[in-house]
Every structure is written in C-alpha cells, then in structure tokens.
Amino acid sequence: MTKTLPTRAEIPEQYTWDLSTIYPTDAAWEEDYAALPALLDEFTGYQGRLAADGKTLLAAMTLQDTLGRRLDRLAIYAFLRRDEDTANSTYQSLADRVQQLGVRAHAATAFVRPELLALPDGTLDRLMDEEPGLRVYAHDFADLLRGKPHVLPQAEEQLLAQVGELAAAPSTVFSMLNNADLTFGTVTDEEGSETQLTLGRYQRFMRANNRALRADAFLKLHGTYSAHRNSIAALYSANVKKNLFYARTRKYPSALEAALHPDNIPISVYTNLIEAVHDRTDLMERYLTLRRRVLGLDELHMYDLHVPLVADLSDEVVYEDARKQVLAALQPLGAEYGQAAETGLSSRWVDVYETPNKRSGAYSWGAYDTSPFILMNYQDTLNDMFTLAHELGHTMHSYFTRRAQPYTYGNYTIFVAEVASTLNEALLTHYLLQNTPDPRRRLAILNNQLDTIRGTLYRQTMFAEFEKLTHEAAEAGEALTAERLSEIYYDLNKRYHGAAVSDEAIAIEWARIPHFYSSFYVYKYATGIAAATALAQQIVDEGQPAVDRYLRFLSRGSSAYSIDLLRDAGVDMTSPEPVKQALDVFGRHLAEMEQLLAETGALASEESKA
C-alpha cells in the first residue's frame, strides 16, 4: 500500500507557519501592492536633487527604506505562500508579480549610488552635519565611498553594464550543459533495478552500502565530465578571464582582491585559511585511514567517503523530541536567547512537515517587519534535528538583528550568515555527546560532525585554493587547458587527503563544481564553520563573557564590517587561530571516535584484510 502525504488541512495547526501575521488576507496584500507604484513615482522625483540639502537627502533615504520594507513584506508573503504549494497558481501569480515590481523598484532607485558617488569629497559629511538624522547612514555612506577608487566614469560604467549579460555566458552555458544536456548513463541501484544516474541521485548513491554501486556511479559520472573536459575547460577559462577583465578594468591588483573588496575582507583571511588547513591535513589523513579500517577495505577510494560508518542506526527523532533537545542544547546561550527560540518554535514560525507540492529542503526567511519563518520537511531523523537547529540559528540571527538595528542594517552578509546556524549545530553536538551514553549512537553523532567539518572546512578550502591557483596562473599568462586544470586539482586532492585515498579519476572533479562559476565564494563556507566552531567552544569553555559577545554579534546586523563583527565576538579571522581552534575540535572528535571504535571492536584489523 502506497503511503500518501497528508494535506495541509490534515496537519495540526501548530505545525504550520502563521502567515496571517504578515497579511491577514490576500486582499490586504493586494492593497499594499497597489500602493507601491505611487511611492516609486514619488521617489524618482528625487533624482538629481539628493545633495540639495541634508533634509532632502534624509527624506530620500527614508523613502527608499520605506519602499524596501514594503517590497520585502510583499515578497515574503507571496513566496512563502507559493512554497506551501508550488502548484497553486494564485500564489505563483503573486510571486511573479512581486518579482516584476522588484525589477521596477530597482530601476527607480538605481540613480542613488552613482549620484552620491559623483558628489565632491566631503559633501556627505557636510550633509550629515547639516542634518543629524542622516547619521544613521554613516556606515552605509562610508562603505559606498570606499569603493569610489574603483568606479569608472559614467560612460564606461554604462558600457560595463551593457556587457553584463555577455559576462554571464560561461556560467549560463555551464548551467545548461550541467543540468540539461549531460547524461550519465545508468547504474544498478540498491534494489537491483537499472536506474538513470542523475546529479540528484548521485548523492544518494554515494551513501549507499553497496560499494559496487558507489564505484559505478562515481566512475560513470566523472567519466562523462572527462569526455567533455575540453569544452568545460574552455568555459571555466572564459569565466576566469572575465574575472581578470573586471579586476583590471576597476583597478584591482588581482581578481581575488576584487572579489574580497565588497565585504571589505583582507586577503590574509583567505590565505590564512588555506595555510591553517594545510598545517592539519594529518588529521584528515588519520580520519580517512580510520574510515578505511571501519569499512574493512584494503584501499579507500573517493566513493567511500560519504557512506555512513554506523550502518542501520534507525532511531527516530520525532519533531517534538527534536524541538526539546534543540532548546536544551542551546541553554548555554542564556535565558534571553532561549526564550526567543522557544517563542519562535511555539508561535508558528515553523512549517514542519512535508505536504503535497511543498517546496523541498529547508530554509529560514523573513523580512524586517515580519517574523523570521522556517520551512522544514521533517522526516523524524537525526539529520532533521540538526537541520532544525541550523535553521533556528539563522532565525535567531535575523530576530536579534532586526530587533536592534534600523532597516538599513537589518540584514547580514554571506560572510557571517552561516556562523549562527553552524554554531547551533556545534552546541547540539556537544549536548548530544554529553547526554548520549549509547556507544553506537555516540559514534553516529561523531561521524555526522566529522563529515560536516570534512565536507565544509577541508573540502571548501581545497576548492578555494583551486580558484586561487587557477586565477594566479591565468594572471601570469598561463593557458587553463583541461590537462592543466586536472593537474592542479589532482595535486590539491593529494595534498588535502594525503596517502589515504587512491583515485586518479578525481582529477576531473573540477569540471562538475557549479560554485566555481560564482568565483571566490566557497571560502565563506569554510570561514563560517571555523568561526562558528571556535565561538561555540568559547561559549562552552568561558560561559557568560563569551555568550555576551555572541549575542552582541547577533544584534549588530550589517552595522559594521563582517570582519569587525566577528573580531568583537571573539574570533579574529585575519588570524589563523579560529581555523586552528576548529581543527582542534575535529581532532578531539576524531580521538573520541577512535577510542569508541576500539572499545566496541568495530575496527577491522589490518591482518583480517590481508
């Protein structure tokens, strides 16, 4: 008998989010939507007048904030309603309409940045002195002016804007090739059926207990990319050349520095991350050797890195238990954080269960004037409990930021976005280990955390180094052929994994990584987990002083540069120390796993494999 999903009407109300707190009815949404175009027309009347006097600039900035707040609220309602049931044409229409309104709003406000940048030096300071109400925008103005040396004359800026679509071609073509045109053949799945190999199924196959299936999927997927290696190398090379063109045109010393500039991140953050991970690749080799022994293998391959080491652990974690355990795990953050989290989880901020046509996955999303909402598709697993903790971290970051900051600083950068979420996962791991005596369950928790750090801190740092090396090669005039890219990538895999893994086929993996077309982005995953792990350890070790610093970090939004926010919280990302602290945690988890495996007799002896 086929098990069907419950409808939304069949889900108890407390397990659905309450979007009526945004708009009580669709009619109220329509009323707000209809009023926004008049505000856009009013705003365009400020074009050419921003610097008339301080009062005029403040009025324009205030109206721009009002527009943003109204548009954000409209968008959140429309998109969350659509995600409840992606087949609902009413909310598809609302989402499409608000997107179109967003494009119109962007066009109507686009004059602000160039007009302010064109002002003579000192003008904004004079206007802030003239109108104290403008002081709230002081950081925004300073950040705007920081980029002035890299802004071109108006005609050249217009020309660059016109080539933007051409510049996106490598990413667009790769996406079409990767998602639509490439086919990977078939494999025999766990049930013995011939199954089409797809990018989505590949991840599931890599966790399968059947090693022949894992090997077949791995070799066929990478074999397909290898067959198209020259075309994909040309696309990647074109993307690198695009980055070099923009960096040189805007007078940056390198493509890396151009990419770090918007968030004001020193290049030392990037290089220190790589160097700190290089220093502890011994831990990775030790973990992979342990993995080989647990799996009872003579030789570890890349397709052996994702299969769980604790098989058939079927303990369910129902949502109410997960909710209680997550809140208990977050108690070290103090009463204020705990009460806010409890309020969110009991006030219908979370849409818990899967229903027909509901958007897959999980996220936390909201606007300045709404609650932060969490979408889940909870399936009663340990992993789902960690996902709840993760999304609740994002939610609390948004909650504390918007409670404390004006709209202009009511969000935060991608550089810090994963800190609050990953810190919650680290505290949940700590709590579960403190309260889980069962050795096999402890092993499952440790396995989860070790693989999270391996996949995020080690792997994303390796990706970041690949981008750095390939851009440096291109800047030196070297051709990025398929052979050269594969050589760089294979050498990095050997460096990061040591002698523990044997697989020449991994040399082509660079060809399948879509993040490489969002250049110099992946390092933020690595710095995020490093900062979060270090902060979580400080909270456990120091108690209230560390908690106070962390809550202040959550409350500051984008009112200062990300690097300064983290430094004030207790992690200086310009230093390698936070990365080292995170790697020390990896080492401690690894040591406990080794001990537990030895005590339970789960390690295959080297003699038994001979």
Provide the pLDDT for residue 314: 56
DSSP 195: E
β-sheet bridge partners, residue 195: 187
* Residue whose pair of structure tokens reads 């490598």 in the numeric block: 170
How big is the chain, counted in residues? 610
Specify whether the CB–CB gap between 534 and 320 falls below 8 A: no
* CA–CA distances in Å: residue 132 to residues 24, 116, 124, 128, 129: 37, 18, 12, 6, 6
Tens-place pLDDT, residues 351-385: 999 999 898 889 999 999 999 999 999 988 888 99
Q: Amino acid letter at 512? A: R
CB atoms within 10 A of CB 142: 12
- What pLDDT was estimated at residue 476? 97
Q: What is residue 180's predicted lDDT score, i.e. its pLDDT?
A: 83
Q: Give which of 343, 347, 350 is closest to 375, Cα–Cα.
A: 350
Q: For residue 361, what pLDDT is reported?
A: 85
Residue with tokens 């954080």: 337
Contact predicate 435/396, CB 8 Å: no
Query: Helix (H, G, I), strand (E, B), or coil: what is residue 219?
Result: helix
Q: How far apart are CA 200 and CA 361, in angstroms?
A: 13
Per the prediction, the chain carries an average pLDDT of 93
Q: Cα–chain-centroid distance for residue 16?
A: 25
Looking at the predicted structure, is the pLDDT value of residue 602 above 80? no
Report how far residue 118's alpha carbon sits from residue 93's, in angstroms, rounded to the nearest whole number.
39
pLDDT category at 599 given cuts 50, 70, 90 is confident
pLDDT in tens, 382-436: 889 999 999 999 999 999 999 999 999 999 998 999 999 999 999 999 999 999 9
> What mean pLDDT comes out for the span 167-192?
90
Question: Which one, of 471, 476, 485, lies nearest residue 256 by Cα?
Answer: 471
Q: pTM for the complete prediction? A: 0.88
CA distances in angstroms from 73 to 139, 233, 268, 397, listed in the order given: 25, 42, 38, 18
Residue 118's Cα: distance from chain center in Å? Answer: 35
Tokens 């790769």 — which residue?
174
% of the chain surpassing 70 pLDDT: 97
Residues designated as active site? 391
Tracing tokens 């206007």 back to the chain, one arrives at 127
Helix H segments across 168-311? 169-176, 199-206, 211-227, 229-249, 255-260, 267-279, 281-295
- Distance, CA of 145 to CA of 124 (rounded, Å): 10
Cβ contact 461:474 at 8 Å: no
- The predicted-structure confidence for 239-249, as pLDDT tens digits, reads as follows 999 999 999 99
| Dihedrals phi, psi of 365, to nearest 5 degrees | -155, 145
Residue 351 and residue 373 in contact, taking contact as beta carbons nearer than 8 Å: yes
Residue 578 has pLDDT above 50, yes or no: yes
pLDDT at 604: 56
What DSSP string runs through 282-331?
HHHHHHHHHHHHHHT-SSB-GGGSSS-SSTT------HHHHHHHHHHHTG
CA 516 to chain centre: 14
Q: Residue 171, Cβ neighbours under 10 Å: how many?
A: 18
| CA proximity to 80, closest of 35, 18, 127 | 18
Residue 23 identity (one-letter amino acid): Y
**Among candidates 517, 513, 493, which has minimal Cα distance to 505?**
493
CA gap 180, 199 in Å, rounded: 11
Nearest alpha carbon to residue 174 among 196, 199, 197: 199
182-238 pLDDT per residue, tens: 999 999 988 899 999 988 889 889 989 999 999 999 999 999 999 999 999 999 999
CB 377 within 8 A of CB 360: yes
Whole-number Å distance between alpha carbons of 255 and 245:
9
Read off the pLDDT of residues 459-477 as tens digits, 9 standing for 90 and up.
999 999 999 999 999 999 9
Q: What is the mean pLDDT of residues 84-99?
A: 93
| Separation of alpha carbons 564 and 497, rounded Å | 33
Straight-line distance from the first to the last Cα atom of the chain, in angstroms, rounded to the nearest whole number: 47
| Closest residue by Cα to residue 529 from 446, 419, 402 | 419
